Amino acid sequence: MPALTDEIVSRAARCSFAPARAVPSSYILNLFKKGDRRDMTISTAPRDNDSPATALGPTALVLGAFSAVGTWAFLFPWTVLAGALAVTFGAMGLHYARQGTGRMWTAAAGTTLGAIGFIGTATLIWGLY
């Protein structure tokens, strides 16, 4: 195995885009260690050391969906509150997802749905008066 990685390093050194210094073979071997974030063979089930920040995205998604659907069902006080909370939790979830805690798509979807529900309800109420 070390001979193969040395060959890869020597080929990379000959490329025009390669760095000026050689990359050690131990670095290449340790790129995808077992349990690394990029290793897709590990389980995605929650563990004891997970942060509560992992729940911000799914919470924003549920509140955002309720807010967006509730706008068209005329649940005004609850949709405004759920939309504002979805945007808040979604923004916090995006912050933590950029740091590697939680999932980006749930936080982004929750923020978007919360904003749609909040703005839709505000527009609907403003149009009535």
Q: Report whether pLDDT(24) > 70.
A: no
Average pLDDT, the chain: 78
Question: What is the predicted pLDDT for the residue at 75?
Answer: 81
CB environment 62-101: b (16+ within 10 A), e (fewer)? bbbbbbbebbeeebeeebbbbbbbbbbbbebbbebbeeeb
Question: What is the predicted pLDDT for the residue at 128?
Answer: 84
Q: Report whether pLDDT(71) > 70.
A: yes
Q: Report whether pLDDT(46) > 70.
A: no
Q: Count of CB atoms within 10 A of residue 30's CB? A: 10
CA pair distance 108, 79, nearest whole angstrom: 18
pTM: 0.61
Place of tokens 């069902």: 73
CA pair distance 109, 59, nearest whole angstrom: 11
Give residue 8's pLDDT band: very low, low, confident or very high (50, 70, 90).
Answer: low
Q: What percentage of the chain carries pLDDT values higher than 90?
A: 40
